[in-house]
Amino acid sequence: MNTTTIPLKSWPQRQPLVFLALAAAVWLGLYQMLIPASEGLVAALPVDRASHLGGALQFFFYDTPKVLLLLTGIVFVMGIIHTFVSPERTRAMLAGKPLGVGNGMAASLGIVTPFCSCSAVPLFIGFLQAGVPLGVTFSFLISAPMVNEVALALLFGMFGWKVAALYLGLGLSVAIVSGVVIGKLGMERYLEDWVREMQNSQTAEAVEVAHMPWGDRIQNGFAHVREIVGKVWPYILAGIALGAAIHGFVPQDFMASIMGHDAPWWSVPAAVLLGVPMYTNAAGIIPIVEALIGKGAALGTVLAFMMSVIALSAPEMIILRKVLKPQLIATFAGVVATGILLVGYVFNAVL
């Protein structure tokens, strides 16, 4: 008796809507199981749940799959959305716009691009190649890692919509104003020579996506997950591990003395300076934010630390050095750091 086996990868091609419905149901089911599963794992270990180690392990077992589930789901959806708008069309949209309008569009685009600071750099270079104004490209470069859907979703889940909305508004303001300031300074001369000499000799090919089959869109979503989640998951694990250690072992009085509500005014700039040598993305740093808040740290100070980690990271500066001269890198860092300090002080004042 002959049987025909349909390859697993062809299922999304054959029945894309059914696949999406079942995938969403599985995702929601897994998400609902996170708390009982994490508690069960700790209970199965020879560890007292009430101990520091027990609390740290539960934090790690819960937050690791939670962050990975959120990141995978959001990146998959964004991969599908990207099949409707090609990068060429995006660049054409941003080029030739008035400075303020272009900055707002670029910063808004950054919200829906799940890039860490380093992975946003190639698109930043692409914008320069397409003739997008320098200040507009910086608005995207700041917004993409600092204010994205992963950070907003996690902040909403942990602290509520008011905190998420305030973070969105202030983060966008930092990205837009920083880009406008850099654009007004006329610092194109501080691009590296090879960047300034780039000729946009090839017209971007139009990509017709209107009639792309849904099966292909789903495959593109999977490709985004493999590319982005495949790169950032080690940083997520490292960030959650650090967050678990802070959650379980770091004394509350120690953290409060550095980032607490009663800390001196210099705690915010100290947090920014502390964050620069580190490197992770929004998904990896949020668990650390949650742990620090749980230990009594001031939300504004912790968010300033978080924004410096993901928007002013040392690895990003190293990559940008291939494109920008030191004067422009210093200006970029100074303008963004000033905006982050303002965000920190505003959050501490109103919350």
Q: Which amino acid is at 269?
A: P
Among 283, 286, 291, 307, smallest CA distance to 70 is for: 283
The predicted structure's pLDDT at residue 25 = 92
Report pLDDT digits (tens) over 103-128.
888 888 777 765 555 556 656 766 77
Diameter of the chain by CA atoms? 79
Q: Which residue has the tokens 């897994």?
A: 30
Name the percent of the chain lying above pLDDT 90: 2
pTM across the whole model: 0.59
Exposed, middle or buried: residue 101 (CB in 10 Å: 0-12, 13-18, 19+)?
exposed
Does residue 40 surpass a pLDDT of 70?
A: yes
- The residues, any chain, with a CB within 8 Å of residue 120's CB and separated by 6 or more, are 110, 113, 140, 141, 144, 145
Does residue 202 surpass a pLDDT of 50?
A: no
Range 211-234 burial, b when 16+ CB lie within 10 A, else e: eeebbebbbbbeebbeebbeebbe
Task: Output the CA–CA distances (angstroms, integers) from residue 112 to 74, 120, 137, 149, in the order listed.
Answer: 9, 12, 15, 6
**pLDDT confidence of 1, banded at 50, 70, 90?**
very low
Range scoring the smallest mean pLDDT among 3-7, 217-221, 315-319: 3-7
Rounded-to-integer distance, Cα 146 and Cα 120, Å: 11
Q: Which H/E stretch holds residue 44?
A: none
The predicted structure's pLDDT at residue 122 = 58
Average predicted confidence (pLDDT) for the chain: 75
Rounded-to-integer distance, Cα 90 and Cα 113, Å: 12
Among 304, 303, 344, 345, smallest CA distance to 158 is for: 303
Does residue 238 surpass a pLDDT of 80?
A: no
The predicted structure's pLDDT at residue 6 = 43
8 A C-beta contact, residue 174 and residue 140: no
Can you give the residue ranges of every domain in the chain?
Answer: 10-198+213-350
Range 263-275 burial, b when 16+ CB lie within 10 A, else e: beeebbbbbbeeb
> What distance, in Å, lies between the first and last C-alpha atoms of the chain?
71
Q: Which H/E stretch holds residue 277?
A: none
**Residues 196-221, mean pLDDT to the nearest whole number:** 61
8 A C-beta contact, residue 168 and residue 136: no
Higher pLDDT, 218 or 316: 218
Rounded-to-integer distance, Cα 341 and Cα 272, Å: 8
Report pLDDT digits (tens) over 58-113.
888 887 888 788 778 877 876 787 677 655 565 566 656 666 788 888 888 777 76
The tokens for 13 are: 């091609």
Task: Output the CA–CA distances (angstroms, integers) from residue 253 to 42, 249, 262, 278, 298, in the order listed.
Answer: 26, 12, 11, 23, 13
Report pLDDT digits (tens) over 177-196.
888 888 888 888 888 776 67
Locate all alpha helices (DSSP H) within the chain, ordered by sequence: 11-14, 16-32, 34-43, 52-81, 87-94, 99-111, 117-129, 134-146, 149-159, 161-184, 193-196, 214-224, 230-249, 252-259, 267-275, 282-294, 299-311, 314-320, 326-350
